[in-house]
Structures are given as C-alpha cells and as structure tokens.
Amino acid sequence: MQLEISPRQRSQQEEEAEQQLAEEAVGDVASIELWVYPKLPVGEDDAGAAALVPPLNFAEVHDGIFRSGLPTADNFTFLRSLKLRSIVYLCPEPYPEENTRFLEQNGIKLHQFGIDGSKELLVNIPEEKIREALKVILDVRNRPVLIHCKRGKHRTGCVVGCLRKLQKWCLTSVFDEYQHFAAAKARSTDQRFMELFDTSSLMHLTASQC
C-alpha cells in the first residue's frame, strides 16, 4: 500500500531539504569567527570599553594567531588586551616609531619580512620570506602573534592562504577567505601564488603546532 504525502507534508519536507542544502553549502571560510572583545579588568568603565578598537581588517585566524592591517595608536589598547608576544610585519618600510615604542613598552617582539606590495606579487614576492614568516607563526613560543601588512589584504592574505594550505584547506576555501578580506581589490596573481606554493618543507612543523 502506497502512502500519499499531503501537500502540507510535502512542503515541509522540501523546506527541510532546502535548509540542509544551505547548511552544506557553507565552506571552511565560515570558520572565520566574529571577534569577541576581551573583558576589561574589573573597575574599567564604559569609556575604557569603547577604547577597544581593533585594527583594520582584524580577525582571528587560529588559536593565538591574528591578522589585520597596520595598527594605529587608536588600536593599542585593543592590542594590549590580546597579550601579544610577537608581530609579523610584511612590509619593507621601517616600522612606525609610535608602533615601535608600543612594542618595546609591552615586550612584543617584531619579526619583519619585507615584501613588495606590487600588484605583480607572483613575480616579485620572495617565496623564502613567506616560508620564514610561516616558521615564526607556527612556533607556539611566538604566540599570540599578529600578522599584518599595510591594509591586511594582499600580503597578509597570501601568508594566511599558505598557512591554510598547511592546515589542509581546499583551494576554494583558501580563495574564499582571501576574497573576504581583499574584496574588490582581490588579485588573481595572489591566488596563483597561493595555488603554486609548496608546503612540503613546512609540513613537519604543523603536526602539533597548528
């Protein structure tokens, strides 16, 4: 005997199926969690809470690993709340004096890997600098660590993209995350670089560190 499904039951089943498909469509990039502001010490007032201003394009990449654009003085209180040990700076220009003083005052070590910000990144980027930057990031002794360039889009996006390959992300998800931050400024040369980047020499560093 064949049971007939009423129109109402059919509609409900279709809605459940569509909802399931929508959930499955969410890729790894959904793991970019909204940042939860750390709580200030007891006694801080609302004005202190308002001072927690994250840098441009700030996000948590992994436990103890953060990314952003170049911090300004307005971001220092927020950065202090992260209890950073290290900063990985990806620009060739000297680190701003005001930022250098902030690092010295808070015992934060600067690791600079000067990478040209040219649009022809595939041609100009020194791949060895990416590897050296990743070694610093993967070393848990350097965490919490903040990775940043000028705007937190291209150079930072490439380093994080190569880190994602080490974490076994599929290329589609790597590119989705890159485009999330680069938006209209996304560069095909950056994505090509990430696609061709060879992670084999760094795989031994990721087993217990990321």
| Segment 13-48, tens digit of pLDDT | 555 555 554 444 444 444 455 455 555 444 444 555
Confirm whether 125 is domain-assigned. yes
Total structural domains in the chain? 1
Which residue, among 71, 72, 78, 70, has the nearest Cα to 51 in the 3D structure? 78
Confirm whether 28 is domain-assigned. no
CATH of the domain at 104: 3.90.190.10
Confirm whether 174 is domain-assigned. yes
pLDDT in tens, the chain (210 residues): 444 444 444 455 555 555 554 444 444 444 455 455 555 444 444 555 557 999 999 999 999 999 999 999 999 999 999 999 999 999 999 999 999 999 999 999 999 999 987 765 445 678 999 999 999 999 999 999 999 999 999 999 999 999 999 999 999 999 999 999 999 889 998 999 999 999 998 988 764 466
Confirm whether 144 is domain-assigned. yes
H or E stretch at 145? strand 145-148
Q: Please say whether the dihedral angle defined by the alpha carbons of residues 125, 128, 133 and 138, taken in this order, is positive or negative.
A: positive
Confirm whether 183 is domain-assigned. yes
Q: Tokens 């993209």 appear where?
A: 161
The boundaries of the domain holding residue 95 are 59-207
Sort residue 28 into left (φ over 0), alpha (ψ -120 to 50) or beta: alpha
| Environment class of 19 (CB within 10 Å of its CB; exposed 0-12, middle 13-18, buried 19+) | exposed
Q: Which residues contact 142 (CB under 8 A, 6 or more apart)?
A: 85, 86, 109, 111, 136
Confirm whether 185 is domain-assigned. yes
List residues with catalytic annotation.
149
As a whole number of Å, the CA-based R_g of the chain is 21
